[in-house]
Structure 1
Amino acid sequence: MTGWAALDGGPRAGARRPVRGDDGGAVTAELAVGLVAVVLVLSAVLSLGQAVVAQVRCTDAAAAGARAAARGATAGEVSATASALAGGDAVVQVVPGGGTVEVVVRRRVRLALPGAPALPVQGRAVAAAEPTGAGP
């Protein structure tokens, strides 16, 4: 219904403004579109947070594994230590060489976005191997 309604009070008492009755569902439609956009942005932010946390966990796990390997732990012990810190699906690679040991921890992160692929993350750490023989 389109027409004119009188304004209540004000300096121009008796002035009229248009009244529109044909936009009743517009607010609902705009709210629905806005909520979808908010949910998508929130999902993207949560996915970014997931990826960052997984990256930090992999880096911390690699550092712990490298410290354990530098102290003389076996590859199995290093792998168990790093996997426990990074998450059960982590792949741990131990690379000894030249008085150092390098530990690389890789895993895939499933993002909160619907239909998004798993994101690969990795952490890497190198530690100097400690002497294993008895000192003087």
Structure 2
Amino acid sequence: MPPVSDAPKPSVLFVCVHNAGRSQMAAAFLTHHGQGRIEVRSAGSAPAAGVNQAVVAAMAEVGIDLSAQVPKVLTPEAVQASDVVITMGCGDACPVFPGKRYLDWRLEDPAGQGVEAVRPIRDEIEGRIRGLLAELLPRG
């Protein structure tokens, strides 16, 4: 077991337009693989009414339940409270604050697609999350 640290947890915010697909998958994977070591948020610049059901199904295939998740609106406070902001196609709608690390992950949008089309997007997101974890939580 790693030693307990007084250092604050790194915090990551995932942003896409509807907060119904890509950002929900990324947040779920980071929460799952981060095992409580990272503060995770997700939001959308124009949130949908619900999470994409093909995304819910694709994530269920890998043991992650998104059925209770609700898209959230992007606020300046969420950006300010985050160390890393990862955008996924929200363009100019994402507020920019000095001192934050911004990454733009260009990923296909799962909106309107079936679970077969969502699986490769899900798998790419999980790979990127594993890389992000290696950066944020270097082994000591």
The TM tier, using the shorter chain, reads under 0.3
- TM-score, normalization by structure 2: 0.25
Which has more helix, going by share of residues?
1
Which has more strand, going by share of residues?
1
